Chains A and B, each alone.
Chain A
Amino acid sequence: MTDRKAIEAQLPRLEGSDYQITSCKDPNYNCFAWAAGDHTRVWSPVMLGSGVYWPPGIPALPSLSGVIQAYTITGFEVCDSPDLEGGYERIAIFADPTGEPRHAARQLPDGRWASKLGDHVDIEHVQLEVVGGAWYGEPVAYMKRATTTTDTY
């Protein structure tokens, strides 16, 4: 099974949509890190010993409020929409029906979106919602930060 087929088997909305695989598989970072611009760590709100990172001082709970707090200390603030806005970069947080955050995507300067898929590859997709569905849930919150912000995590 090719990478695309394997991905589309779990994210069926991608099938037939406009998306590109832009990296090799890499288990060294996950989507929550990638959305914040961190390509070196796996961000996990629940600390399971070693090998994962969560911003210090943020409650280690798998909740939307915890994820929003984690991104807040990296310079993001909650906003209302995923629409492209000059001078800002945006992220979208996906949650499942129970409210547990399952994925985060980052908006590119041209308005497309970039997602790191677990331990798998990075993809770029035109429509935000195509990575949603049963696996990652749906976008439930948006955050933005000025593009001049320096990462502080």
Chain B
Amino acid sequence: MTWTTEVTPRHRKELWKRNQCLVEVRKPSEWRHRQAGRRDQAHGVGQPWDELNPESSFSRPPLAIHRQELEFEQLADRWEAETALESVVTRKAMHAAYQRIIGMGNAAVPWILARLQRAPGQWFWALTAITGEDPASGQETVQGASAAWIQWGRTQGLLGD
């Protein structure tokens, strides 16, 4: 994620506040059609993210993405800590943090895959629930299923080689 607009630290702070506001109170449909004031226009505030960053495939404000990724990492850490001693896979998957990650939808998939790449874990139900895919079908081991999902992620362009 790269900031390409030229803004002073003061305006960057303002941009931060505005983006936080967008995250908290604005619907996604409003992100692209927000009426910007003249001062905002001079600094790129309020312009669609994809106009400011033509190379980005996202249309959401960058801080919204950053905050959601941070939330994912916090939820994933909490899930791992609170279910570390759990032997029943269904109980692990029913944990509130795991269910919230599933609720994040497609945005969470690359983060889950990256986490799976770092360390094996029972992320397969979440990945299948979100994507509707099961590239690891028939894999009986965690390592085998992890490898299949990581390969799928690379094929989809969600993970680097």
The interface of chain A, by Cβ under 8 A from chain B, is: 6-7, 10-11, 25, 27-28, 30-32, 40-42, 44, 46, 48-53, 62, 100-104, 116-120, 135-136
Contacts and interface: CB of A to CB of B under 8 A. Distances in A.
B87 A28 contact: no
Contacts of A117: 84-85, 87
Nearest to A54: B140
A51 B144 contact: yes
A48 B124 contact: yes
Contact of A49 (B88, B128, B141): B128
Given A102-B87, A118-B87, 8 more contacts: A27-B120, A42-B89, A48-B90, A49-B128, A50-B137, A50-B144, A51-B136, A118-B84
Contacts of A119: 80, 83-86, 121-122
Contacts of A136: 87
A37 to B, nearest CB: 16
20 contacts: A6-B81, A27-B120, A28-B120, A44-B88, A49-B128, A50-B128, A50-B137, A51-B122, A51-B136, A51-B139, A51-B140, A52-B122, A53-B141, A101-B88, A116-B87, A117-B87, A118-B92, A119-B84, A120-B84, A136-B87
Contacts of B140: 41, 50-53
| Pairs A-B, 3 closest by C-beta atoms | A51-B145, A50-B136, A44-B89
A27 B87 contact: no
A42 B125 CA distance: 14
B122 A50 contact: no
Interface range on chain B: under 10, 10 to 19, 20 to 34, or 35 or more?
20 to 34
Contact of A28 (B85, B134, B143): B143
B155 to A, nearest CB: 16
How would you classify the secondary structure of chain A's contact residues: helix, strand, loop or mixed? loop
A83 B145 CA distance: 39
A4 B23 CA distance: 40
A51 B124 contact: yes
B36 interface: no
B37 interface: no
A30 B88 CA distance: 8
Which of B84, B85, B120, B139 gathers the greatest number of chain A CB atoms within 10 Å? B85
A11 B90 contact: no
A80 B138 CA distance: 37
A41 B121 CA distance: 12
B42 to A, nearest CB: 51
A44 B93 CA distance: 12
B148 interface: yes
